[in-house]
Amino acid sequence: MADTPATFLEGFHNLDEIKSLKYKRLGETDLFVPPLTFGGAHLSHGVMFDNQTGQPITGHENAVNTIREAIKRGINYFDVAPLYGAGKCEIVLGVALQPIPRSAYYIATKVGRNHNCQFDYSASSVLKTVEESLRRLRLSYIDVVHVHDIEFADFNTLLTETLPVLDKLRNDGIVKYIAINCYPIELLKETIEKSKVKIDIIQSYCRCTLFDNSLVDHIPYFKERKIGIINAASYGMGLLTKGKLPDWHPAKLETIEACAEATKICNDRGVDISRLAIDHAFRTEGIDTTLVGLKDVELLNENLHILRNGLDEKELEAQKEVSKVFEKLTVRHWEGIELEKYRRNKTEFENYLKGLAQ
């Protein structure tokens, strides 16, 4: 491809930064994205909304400025969902994008988990969810629609309702590409094998991390089928950060303790383990892009710096010590734990999700 992606606009973008980002094609789509893309799960944090109009009143300025700065510097793919902030993250993103030419960015949102944190993969729910997302985002079409966390769907409903109705929306030009995401990687593959609908992109989370790098083993499968690969949650949903681990985290004790030990090693050396975690994702061959929650311009700058320059010597030394900790791990994932909770008590689990989405 040329030095610049189709989203490049002369006089709007920083050309030097665009050329340094090394865009990749997402599978067989016409979307060319940089290695770093924008996760929007936190866009509504601290924002006050008008009760009547539903529009942000105050507190959204930082998010809006970060989104616009990211676009100018070459970040062209933004990921949100009705689940995030009970639909309010989509609203903030829609506000931020108003003065930006539509050709300068790609938008991904999701179906299957609605703004009330309930699971509904029926055709009628998909149609309603897409319609609501278009309204909140102020768009006439969406570039990518993900089926959100497919492990919680009835598999037959997924194959006979969810994916076919998205295919119809794709044929109608309302949706350009269809994606699926979930935690169990084998389920992504099974869905691809059994679906009569073409799946363009998969999104995997917490499977390209310092403690669990299992996504790498499956990259050839997706590449052979020309399916785009998006990586998310390289921090292990908080396991690989300096912050306090949330009480709701589903990881098993051995994994939590290993991540805590690795974090202490970094802290003792004056190193931020999250920088090691994101560098690992950026250096993993075969992944098309990694989503990162970019809460402000400072974090945007930091991630772009790591992407272009890698780690310093002190961080590289810490990385060697951390790798020794994770080599001893026998439990690297928490597959099935959340699904078991959901099957045991759906109402209780959806209430738990509402707490996470606020």
Q: For the segment 297-319, what is each residue's pLDDT rounded down to a tens digit?
A: 999 999 999 999 999 999 999 99
Structure tokens at 141: 């079409």
Q: How far apart are CA 182 and CA 333, in angstroms?
A: 13
Report pLDDT for 115.
76
Query: How sure is the predictor about 88, in pLDDT bands with cuts at 50, 70 and 90?
Result: very high
Nearest-Å Rg of the Cα atoms of the chain is 20
Nearest alpha-carbon partner for 221 in 315, 286, 289: 286
Q: For the segment 328-351, what is each residue's pLDDT rounded down to a tens digit?
A: 999 999 999 999 988 888 877 777
Report pLDDT for 84.
93
Q: For the segment 5-54, what is each residue's pLDDT rounded down to a tens digit?
A: 999 999 899 888 899 999 999 999 999 999 999 999 999 999 999 999 99
Q: Count of CB atoms within 10 A of residue 22's CB?
A: 9
| Of 23, 77, 84, 342, catalytic | 84
* 108 touches 76 (CB < 8 A): no
Q: For the segment 198-230, what is each residue's pLDDT rounded down to a tens digit?
A: 999 999 999 999 999 999 999 999 999 999 999
Report pLDDT for 164.
98
CA atoms within 13 Å, Cβ hemisphere of 24: 19
Q: For 141-153, what is the mean pLDDT?
A: 97
* 80 touches 108 (CB < 8 A): yes
Q: Residue 80: phi, psi to the nearest 5?
A: -135, -175
Residue type, 336: G
> Is it the case that residue 119 has pLDDT exceeding 80?
yes
3-state class of 162 per DSSP? helix
Structure tokens at 314: 């002190």
Nearest alpha-carbon partner for 70 in 347, 325, 333, 297: 297
Q: How far apart are CA 277 and CA 262, in angstroms?
A: 11
Report pLDDT for 349.
77
> Is it the case that residue 352 has pLDDT exceeding 80?
no
> Is it the case that residue 357 has pLDDT exceeding 60?
no
Q: How far apart are CA 37 and CA 232, in angstroms?
A: 10
Provide the 8-state DSSP code for 229. E
Stated pTM of the model: 0.95
CA 50 to chain centroid, in Å, comes to: 28
Q: How far apart are CA 294 and CA 43, in angstroms?
A: 9
Q: For the segment 257-313, what is each residue's pLDDT rounded down to a tens digit?
A: 999 999 999 999 999 999 999 999 999 999 999 999 999 999 999 999 999 999 999
Whether 106 is a known active-site residue: answer no
Q: How far apart are CA 176 and CA 106, in angstroms?
A: 10
Q: For the segment 229-248, what is each residue's pLDDT rounded down to a tens digit?
A: 999 999 999 999 998 898 88
Q: What b/e readout covers 321-345, taking b as 16+ CB neighbours within 10 angstroms? A: ebeebbeeeeebbbbeebbeebeee
What does the CA dihedral 213, 214, 220, 222 come to, rounded to 10 degrees? -110
* 144 touches 106 (CB < 8 A): yes
Report pLDDT for 247.
83
Domain layout of the chain by residue ranges: 15-244+276-313
Report pLDDT for 1.
42
Report pLDDT for 353.
66
CATH second-level architecture of 15-244+276-313? Answer: Alpha-Beta Barrel (3.20)
Structure tokens at 8: 């490049």
Q: Count of CB atoms within 10 A of residue 164's CB?
A: 16
* Mean confidence (pLDDT) of the chain: 94
Q: Residue 243: phi, psi to the nearest 5?
A: -75, 170
Nearest alpha-carbon partner for 231 in 178, 284, 307, 153: 284
Share of the chain above pLDDT 70, in %: 97
Report pLDDT for 48.
94
